[in-house]
Amino acid sequence: MFTEVLVAVVIGGVIFFLVQRSRKQVLKTEDGWWGAGAPPEGGEDVTIKPFKITTSDEEIEDLYRRIDQTRPVPSLEDSQFNYGFNSQYLQRVVSYWRNEFDWKRQVDKLNQYPHFKTNIEGIDIHYLHVKPKKVPEGTTALPLIMVHGWPGSFYEFYGMIPLLTEPTDPHDLVFEVVCPSIPGYGFSEASHKKGFDSVCAARIFHKLMKRLGFQQFYAHGGDWGWLVTTNMAQLEPNTVKGLHVNFAPPSKPGLPVALSVMLGRRFPKLFGFTDLDVQRLFPCVEKLVVESIKESGYMHIQATKPDTVGRGLNDSPVGLASYILEKFSTWTSRDFRNLEDGGLTRKFSLDDLLTNVMIYWTSGCIISSMRFYKENFSQGLDQPHSKIPVHVPTGFACFPNELMHTPKLWVKQKYRKLVTFTHMARGGHFAAMEEPQLMAEDIQNFMKTVEKKKKKK
């Protein structure tokens, strides 16, 4: 008993010290220019222009020609998805892509929402801007920016957008949604210069929201979107009214996290660990190491030499599809590695999966999207934003099949005003696309709580 009390006192003192030390820290940044060459003398063009996704017979014919010329390689017997995307099942996916998938119809679906482009810091930024058709009398729509990750796109949010802009429950909040493509992803222009990282994307998205007339707004992100929106909250904490994320690995583990790793299995209650936390955090060391090796190879490649493998993926639609869709299998559930079909259509439709692939293919963005890893990791893990806590109200959706389990204590170390922490019933890494209803509900619950607190003040 004495040991537990002593440990609790030490941890409490450490946490208090860290909070006091970092209370007034704000992330600093400077404007950049990411366009080709030098900035124009007259300054950047701030015009907002409508954008429409298009396709052509020539584009589709080129895709079919490349698919027809692919060279299949048989998978090993009884290998399922443990060696990567199973080749036999890949042939079925490719056959559907070639003979049944209707890209023109999917383009119409993509264009159901208004798309725009505007030039910020020298590059064209693509985004969706969806306004609610009806706002209840006496209320206003809340602006919300939602940021995707890799190998996803703005399309991940298509299932959520109507739930947020046209909720059926009269007590729900109504949102005005902005979904940008991270520069170098989809239809946002890639940087022409080295050094474009998450902080640069955060600064550009702040400028985007201000250009749209929003002085304050909410933000949501997963995968890289988690880091970009977190950086947005660190840059301008008075501008971001609330931050909702579904991915939050410790960016710079401090002493409380270290102590919880060392002592959490023996004294789980001291750290607020649930049975689920203990189950997810404390498998044998060997299992943790093996899992890390199995699932992080892509990251090492993209954080070091993205252009090499990227060139091959940019030329081969089948190679691109296998590289991207393997993540939609394994990152949705690790158990799917043991299935012949990777469990792909248990959570997603092939039409939705291939639409996301086609956004990468038609925009030719796979290399620039992979470079985002190199730009963020090449500066090392000890970046300024990794040391600065977030002081805006935060909500965290903890999905059970996420790549990394983050217990409440770890989230609170970074996000000091944690308003909601929800253990979600189901879902993995691509939660917005896999479970749009659950995600929209958690966003609603979090932001209702923040809005109520603001009204009380």
Query: What amino acid positions are annotated as catalytic residues?
Result: 223, 373, 429
| Paired tokens of 422 | 């929800």
Tallying the residues shown for the chain, one arrives at 457
d(CA 380, CA 326): 27
d(CA 411, CA 68): 48
343 sits in the region (left: phi over 0; alpha: psi -120 to 50; else beta) called left
| Paired tokens of 356 | 């996301």
| Paired tokens of 317 | 């639609």
Q: Rounded to 5 degrees, what angle do the CA atoms 45, 48, 49 make?
A: 110
Nearest to 327 by CA among 90, 97, 190, 152: 152
Check whether the bond before 151 is cis (ω within 30° of 0).
yes
Helices 57-68, 103-110: axis angle to 10 degrees equals: 130
d(CA 189, CA 182): 9
Residue 113 near residue 146, CB atoms below 8 Å: no
Nearest to 44 by CA among 189, 217, 153, 219: 189
